[in-house]
Amino acid sequence: MNSLVDSLLSLLSFTELPYSVLVVVAILITGIHIFLLMAIFATLAVYFERKVSAFMQDRLGPMEVGLVGFKGGRKFWGGIGQTIADALKLLTKEDILPNDADKKLMILAPFIIFMGALLTFIGIPFSDGIIISDFNIGIFYVVATSSIGVIGIILAGWSSNNKWSLYGAMRSAAQIISYEIPLGLSILLPVLVVGSLEMSEIVAWQSEHRWFILHSPFTFIAFFIFFISGLAETNRTPFDIPEAESELVAGWMTEYSGFRWAIFFLSEYASMLIICILSSVLFLGGWLSPMTIFNIFPDSWLFFDGPIWGIFWLFSKALFLIFVMMWFRWTFPRLRVDQLMHLCWKVFIPFALANLFFVAILELIFL
């Protein structure tokens, strides 16, 4: 058992406070850090996204706002302060609740979505031993908590008392619940082979053998099913039908503004990060350096390894996947609702089931 909460507890044990108080303190400290991570990541990712889209669309993107005291300019600061300014604008905006809205639910909804993202980070590893809490049902927990958000989406869409929001919420609910099935079936592959739901065990298996994406052709397919289902889970293009801006204005977020909307945004980017980290951990060797891809090099070659380099490798892989998500977003049109369902139920789920079946047979033969 090697996790951040455990090390914090042992670190704080000199205070000789009762264990229950210590646990609360440890949870608070880690919770604040998760929040900071989410906020910083969202800020950077928004900037990154705007720059990526600008690059693809032959424009400059944000260019004017510099950091504190520095005027912008394309030479040096490149508009890095733009997202900070945007975040401040959102926080100081007037808080609008429509008259006919169900106010209690409307206030509650962003927090449920946010809670889903926040809770999920507890089970997300950042490197060897750098995980808030490494419990033995890690993956199961992550899959469970990451689907809390859909309740918030339905609440937001229903309570807004707006037909566009209702459409967005219903589409979103159908989409997220459907895509959880191929997502879960693809996750079952590493679990089946490794025989454990613990993230660190799965990465340990990959460091002994090879990256999971190269385990067999089936896991190779499973990685793509997982990643594309992840796109649908996070409502990214080409599956952004719940907030399809050309159809539903802003979908379930139509009536939200200011701080509440910022929370939605934060959670959306957090869930992107979660999906990308999960795909790296499950299929791309997690925090292992790229030298371990086939595990054919001698150990002395693996110089960039260990927990600190682990963070670097994991985030490199995750950020690359996030870049791929952005690439998709600025390239593809959007699917229609029925096509989305068709893709899920008639393509992904049969393939994911077949994958599971064949990997199970492989395990039977070679074990």
Who's near 111: CB < 8 A, 6+ residues apart? Answer: 152, 263
Q: How far is the CB of 288 from another protein (least distance, A)?
A: 34
CB 200 within 8 A of CB 131: yes
Residue 33 or 342 with smaller CB distance to another protein = 342
Residue 216 backbone zone (phi > 0: left; psi -120 to 50: alpha; other: beta): beta
Residue 71 or 346 with smaller CB distance to another protein = 346
Q: How far is the CB of 323 from another protein (least distance, A)?
A: 15
* Token representation of residue 363: 């395990």
CA distances from 198 to 17, 69, 324 (A): 31, 47, 27
* Token representation of residue 65: 């706002």
Q: Write out the residues near another protein by the rule CB under 8 A.
A: 53, 56-59, 163-164, 167, 237-238, 240-241, 244-247, 249, 330-339, 342
Q: How far is the CB of 22 from another protein (least distance, A)?
A: 50
Who's near 18: CB < 8 A, 6+ residues apart? Answer: none
Q: How far is the CB of 246 from another protein (least distance, A)?
A: 4
Torsional sign, CA 247, 248, 251, 254: positive
- Alpha-carbon distance of 259 to 28, in angstroms, equals 22
Q: How far is the CB of 248 from another protein (least distance, A)?
A: 8
Residue 238 or 286 with smaller CB distance to another protein = 238
Q: What's the residue count for the chain?
A: 367
Residue 286 backbone zone (phi > 0: left; psi -120 to 50: alpha; other: beta): left
Q: How far is the CB of 42 from another protein (least distance, A)?
A: 21
Residue 304 or 327 with smaller CB distance to another protein = 327
Quick check: bond before 238 cis, omega within 30? Answer: yes
C-alpha 205, offset from chain centre: 23
Residue 87 or 170 with smaller CB distance to another protein = 170
Residue 246 or 300 with smaller CB distance to another protein = 246
C-alpha 72, offset from chain centre: 31
Q: How far is the CB of 249 from another protein (least distance, A)?
A: 7
Residue 61 or 66 with smaller CB distance to another protein = 61
Residue 74 or 163 with smaller CB distance to another protein = 163
Q: List beta partners, residue 127.
A: 130
Q: How far is the CB of 250 from another protein (least distance, A)?
A: 9
